[in-house]
């Protein structure tokens, strides 16, 4: 409880501090660069907790058999078919940042599918268990692995309730400069953090989904499309029982 | 005059001694070779994958780490609970505790994806991580038990052995709880989310540790020609019987509490009824070989008097222990996590399916290498320092040996 209060205090402090700094020093330039709900983040400025990036996934709209989001993620982040690497790893060893899961209702046999990836929890179990702090959450809610201090213990994979993480089982050579990966470390969906920081205002999967099943946005901004949609419709968190307050929400499960 | 227990380093000049040390060394080198293959190629040469995240190395490592703290029990019985008979057994107990923790940690560390970053593990500690707590508990254990050995061997420090022994005892309980908690804190998986896991690990550590100790003690005395009286063997094997019974009880409670929650029924069904290899390992390995048979042997009227049978019972507890670790660690991962309760799920990432795992020779090599390291350390240490008593004969050890007068083991000296 106490810790939460301190966290809250810290959050408030940083919000105010960054807000003041932003208006005082760089606000004019930044304002001009605004793209939709997002803006490019200058390299010398830390991610801000004013934002909480997230996704709203509508599984009713997700088309059976479609895997456009998976393919887009592969090529954006250079894994799977988006890279010539991981040839020696078998199917169970290959990385998978996003996957489509088919759900079949046990009673009615009705089937539907949805994309699954890191749920970018507010209380991420992978961050709690990581011995080195390599698994961390950015101020804007994105959960990442720092590949430079990950020792490859895989405790975070054991702890993740969504099986969202993969371990790299061999040397890699064909990588994207925006997306560092490496043998012996763990990785998962980054919510296209490089695109967000660049100011693209969306993720590869959301961009690629022609069925509009994936909506990217700022959960902290009451006027963002994602917040408005979430106010209008009933949404769910996967494994809501664990109280992780996920950044990825679903409709129609 | 009271009889005095003398300790001396073993001679260790025979061909058999060097042959034994050489064999352990060979397995250690083979284990390190396996590590080289794994780290050079990456983990794709192992049977581990993104579903079975922790494989055979963890089975060995966790087994050895909890056994290490159990081995120390023999010393704790003497120093903490004041049982004089166990005092001459303490030095070897402390030594082997350090050796097995060392072997277990070697396996754990060398299975990391980036063992070259060990320094990072020691310098960037995340205070919330149970794993990080363990990283602090291990060196503390080495230090406490190391000091304990020193206090026992150095006459000036003898009078503090009780205090340091108590400290080491508390530390070992923390260590086993910490190891058990690594799994207990994984709330997402049906097989691990149980408060009973940590105490169960403590009881298991008692059993595994004593089995390893008793087997090693009998082998050491036999191979060095030192007398080992029946009274010591009888006491230790009776204690082993108690520990096996306690382990039995905990396995029972563990599965009963699991069965109590409806959400765990399918997991329990998997382990107990239709989990294939896991079910076999549970019933035949863990329960049959690890509990029922050794329990029968140590309480059998005639078998329990035979050292060969007692040795076999110890080996069974060890084998059953490895099987239990396999069931807990691998079985707990093989069973699909329930991400979408109420649905049948399928995907390209193994959702809804029992994960398959075929351990590779490299993982086995690493695990055996860890055991070899522990045994080599022990064998070498008893040659250079006085760990083993010259004699553990009934005359020295059994207070009732000469019923007419009370014989006590009080003073201890080292052979010059
Ligand atoms: S694998 Fe890396 S990120 Fe995951 S818990 Fe271990 S050190 Fe942390």
- Which one, of B161, B142, B172, B178, lies nearest residue B71 by Cα? B172
Using one digit for the tens of pLDDT, what is the confidence trace for B294-324?
999 999 999 999 999 999 999 999 999 999 9
Atom of ligand 1 nearest to the CA of A133: 8
Distance A131 CA to ligand 1 centre (A): 7
What CA–CA distance (Å, rounded) separates B126 from A128? Answer: 8
| pLDDT above 70 as % of chain B | 95
Which among B129, B185, B188 has the least Cβ separation from residue A130? B129
As a whole number of angstroms, the distance between CA A65 and CA B379 comes to 62
pLDDT of residue B193: 62
CB-based contacts of B170, cutoff 8 Å, min separation 6: none
DSSP assignments along B270-307, one per residue: IIIII-THHHHIIIIIIIIIIIIHHHHHHHSTTGGG-H
User: pTM of the full predicted structure?
Assistant: 0.89
Question: Rounded distance, CA B338 to CA B271, Å?
Answer: 16
Question: In A, residues 166-185, which contact B (CB 8 Å cutoff)?
Answer: 166-171, 183-185
Segments making up each domain of chain A, as ranges: 3-251
State the CATH class of domain A3-251. alpha beta
Residue A118 vs residues A29, A122, B80, B393: alpha-carbon distances, Å: 33, 12, 49, 64
Query: What is the C-alpha to C-alpha distance for residues B173 and A126, in angstroms, rounded to an integer?
Result: 26
Subunit contact B42:A163, Cβ cutoff 8 A: no
Measured distance CA(B91)–CA(B69) in Å, rounded = 14
Residues B42/A168, Cβ–Cβ less than 8 Å: yes
B27 in Cβ contact with A77 (< 8 Å): no
Q: What is the pLDDT of residues B177-208, one digit of tens each?
A: 888 888 877 777 777 766 777 788 889 999 99
pLDDT tens-digit profile, chain A (253 residues): 344 444 444 444 444 444 444 433 333 333 333 334 456 777 777 788 899 999 999 999 999 999 999 999 999 999 999 999 999 999 999 999 999 999 999 899 999 999 999 999 999 999 999 999 999 999 999 999 999 999 999 999 999 999 999 999 999 999 999 999 999 999 999 999 999 999 999 999 999 999 999 999 999 999 999 999 999 999 999 999 999 999 999 998 8
At B383 the pLDDT is: 94
For A165, half-sphere exposure in the C-beta direction (CA atoms, 13 angstrom radius) is 27
What is the C-alpha to C-alpha distance for residues B350 and A119, in angstroms, rounded to an integer?
Answer: 18
Say yes or no: A248 contacts chain B, CB-CB below 8 A: no
Residue A198: how many other CB atoms lie within 10 Å: 14
For residues B119-133, average pLDDT: 87
Provide ipTM, 2 decimals: 0.88
Q: What is the DSSP string of A128-181?
A: HH-SSS-EEE-TTS-EEE-TTT-----HHHHH-TT---EE--S------TTS--
Residue in chain A nearest B131 by alpha carbon: A131
Q: How far apart are CA B64 and CA B233, in angstroms?
A: 23
Residue with tokens 């560390």: B109
What local confidence, expressed as pLDDT, does residue B416 receive? 39
Determine the Cα angle at B341 with ends B340 and B346, to 5°.
50
Element (H, E) at B414: strand B412-414
What residue ranges do the domains of chain B occupy?
A: 7-336+354-407
C-alpha span between A203 and A197 (Å, rounded): 11
* Residue nearest ligand 1's atom 6 by CA: A153
Class of domain B7-336+354-407: mainly alpha
Q: Judge: A161–B349 Cβ closer than 8 Å, yes or no.
A: no
Give how far the C-alpha of residue A174 lies from the chain's centroid of Cα atoms, to the nearest Å: 23
H helices present in chain A, as ranges: 2-21, 27-33, 68-77, 125-129, 155-159, 193-198, 204-208, 225-232
- Polymer length of chain B: 416
What value does the mean pLDDT take over residues B262-291?
A: 91
Residue B36 is classified by DSSP as H
Read off the pLDDT of residues B204-223 as tens digits, 9 standing for 90 and up: 999 999 999 999 999 999 99
Distance CA B157, CA A239 (A): 56
Number of C-beta neighbours around residue B310 at 10 A: 24
CA A169 → CA B41, B45, B112, B236, distances in Å? 8, 8, 11, 45
3-state secondary structure of A35: strand
Two tokens, residue A36:
């939709």
B129–A163: do the CB atoms touch at under 8 Å? no
């Amino acid at each position: 409880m106490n810790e939460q209060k301190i966290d809250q205090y810290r959050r408030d402090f940083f919000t105010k501090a960054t807000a003041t700094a932003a208006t005082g020093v760089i606000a004019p330039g930044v304002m001009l660069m605004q793209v939709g709900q997002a803006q490019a983040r200058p390299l010398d400025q830390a991610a801000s907790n004013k934002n909480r990036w997230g996704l709203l996934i509508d599984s009713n709209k997700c088309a059976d058999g479609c895997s456009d989001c998976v393919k887009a993620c592969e090529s954006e982040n250079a894994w799977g078919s988006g890279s010539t690497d991981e040839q020696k790893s078998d199917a169970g060893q290959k990385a998978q940042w996003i996957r489509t899961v088919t759900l079949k209702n046990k009673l009615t046999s009705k089937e539907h599918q949805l994309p699954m990836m890191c749920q970018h929890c507010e209380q991420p179990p992978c961050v709690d268990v990581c011995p080195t702090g390599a698994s961390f959450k950015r101020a804007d809610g994105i959960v990442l692995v720092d590949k430079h201090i990950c020792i490859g213990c895989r405790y975070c994979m054991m702890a993740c309730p969504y099986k969202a993480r993969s371990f790299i089982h061999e040397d890699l050579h064909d990588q994207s400069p925006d997306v560092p990966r490496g043998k012996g470390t763990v990785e998962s969906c980054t919510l296209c953090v490089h695109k967000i920081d660049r100011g693209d205002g969306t993720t590869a999967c959301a961009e690629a989904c022609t069925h509009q099943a994936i909506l990217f946005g700022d959960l902290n901004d009451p006027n963002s499309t994602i917040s408005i949609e979430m106010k209008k419709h009933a949404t769910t968190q996967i494994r809501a029982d664990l109280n992780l307050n996920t950044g990825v929400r679903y409709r129609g499960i | 005059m009271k009889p005095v227990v003398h300790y001396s380093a073993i001679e260790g000049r025979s061909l058999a001694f060097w042959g034994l040390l050489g064999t352990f060394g060979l397995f250690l080198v083979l284990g390190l070779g396996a590590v080289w293959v794994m780290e050079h190629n990456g983990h794709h040469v192992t049977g581990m994958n993104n579903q079975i995240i922790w494989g055979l190395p963890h089975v060995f490592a966790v087994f050895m780490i909890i056994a290490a703290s159990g081995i120390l029990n023999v010393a704790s019985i003497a120093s903490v609970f004041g049982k004089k008979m166990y005092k001459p057994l303490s030095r070897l107990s402390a030594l082997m505790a350090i050796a097995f923790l060392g072997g277990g940690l070697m396996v754990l560390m060398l299975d990391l994806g980036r063992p070259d970053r060990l320094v990072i593990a020691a310098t960037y500690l995340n205070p919330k991580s149970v794993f990080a707590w363990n990283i602090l508990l291990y060196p503390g254990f080495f230090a406490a038990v190391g000091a304990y050995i020193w206090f026992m061997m150095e006459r000036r420090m003898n009078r503090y052995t009780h205090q340091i022994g108590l400290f080491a005892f508390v530390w070992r309980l923390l260590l086993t709880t910490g190891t058990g908690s690594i799994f207990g804190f994984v709330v997402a998986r049906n097989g691990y989310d149980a408060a009973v896991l940590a105490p169960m690990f403590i009881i298991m550590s008692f059993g595994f540790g004593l089995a390893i100790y008793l087997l090693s003690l009998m082998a050491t005395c036999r191979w060095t020609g030192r007398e080992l009286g029946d009274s010591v063997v009888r006491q230790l094997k009776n204690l082993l019987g108690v520990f096996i019974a306690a382990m039995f009880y905990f396995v029972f409670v563990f599965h009963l509490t699991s069965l109590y929650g409806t959400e765990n029924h399918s997991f329990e069904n998997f382990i107990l009824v239709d989990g294939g290899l896991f079910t076999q390992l549970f019933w035949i390995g863990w329960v049959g070989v690890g509990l029922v048979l050794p329990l029968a042997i140590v309480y059998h009227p005639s078998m329990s008097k035979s050292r060969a049978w007692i040795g076999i019972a110890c080996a069974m507890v060890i084998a059953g222990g490895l099987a239990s670790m396999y069931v807990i660690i691998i079985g707990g991962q093989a069973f699909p996590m329930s991400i979408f309760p109420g649905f049948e799920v399928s995907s390209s990432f193994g959702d809804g399916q029992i994960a398959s795992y075929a351990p590779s020779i490299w993982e086995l090599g690493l695990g055996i290498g860890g055991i070899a390291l522990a045994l080599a350390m022990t064998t070498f240490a008893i040659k250079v320092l006085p760990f083993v008593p010259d004699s553990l004969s009934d005359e020295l050890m059994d207070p009732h040996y000469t019923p007419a007068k009370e014989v006590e083991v009080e003073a201890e000296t080292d052979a010059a």
